[in-house]
Amino acid sequence: MVIDHITRAVIYYHLHPGIEVALRYIQTTDFSKLENGQYEIAGEQVFAIVQSYDTKDPSAEKLEAHKKYIDVQYVVSGQEKMGHALLKAQIPSREYQPDNDFMLFDEAPDFFSLITEGMFTIFYPSDLHMPCILHQAPSQVKKVVVKVGVDFIGDDL
């Protein structure tokens, strides 16, 4: 798991070829001109999801995890808290769904981080995360989630 500001993205390029692609995409894209939706970057191996929403109370949310994709989440505007925990021996409350690359867990996060405009997170399959959480009061957020295939080696570009 990584939490940082996009101005420092270059120090994370080496982590995975798809993470470099994702971070460069975030750094070079004007998201004020993009509508909510999905955008192809490198086929099914790297793609972006632009979304806008109101942050939520954590009591109704669950931790999530993925197996096929690494999440690179970037807050374009607004702010939200994200809950975190490491995937150890927890049993999913919602079994893994391969079509959506998604499973849910009932455990509470170990901690929360405040992610503000210009910050990004990287969540690996071993990182449970609970995004979209309010900080003090519900607020509007625009965020980009770049999905990076764990098997991506860069040949798809």
Question: What's the whole-model pTM score?
Answer: 0.95
Q: What is the mean pLDDT of residues 109-118?
A: 97
Domain ranges of the chain: 2-149
Q: Is the pLDDT of residue 156 over 60?
A: no
Q: What is the mean pLDDT of residues 51-60?
A: 96
If pLDDT is split at 50, 70 and 90, which confidence band does 154 have? Answer: confident
Cα dist from 10 to 59, 92, 128, whole Å: 36, 34, 24
Query: Mean pLDDT in the chain?
Result: 96
User: What's residue 155's pLDDT?
Assistant: 65
d(CA 77, CA 74): 9
DSSP state, residue 109: P
CB 12 within 8 A of CB 148: no
Cα dist from 64 to 34, 37, 81, 94, 156, whole Å: 26, 21, 15, 9, 28
Domain 2-149 falls in which CATH fold?
Jelly Rolls (2.60.120)
List of residues 6+ apart from 137 with CB closer than 8 A: none
Tens of pLDDT along 84-106? 999 999 999 999 999 999 999 99
Q: Is the pLDDT of residue 47 over 70?
A: yes
Q: Is the pLDDT of residue 143 over 80?
A: yes
Q: What is the mean pLDDT of residues 59-76?
A: 97
User: What's residue 157's pLDDT?
Assistant: 52
Strand pairing category for 37-42 and 46-54: antiparallel
User: What's residue 63's pLDDT?
Assistant: 97
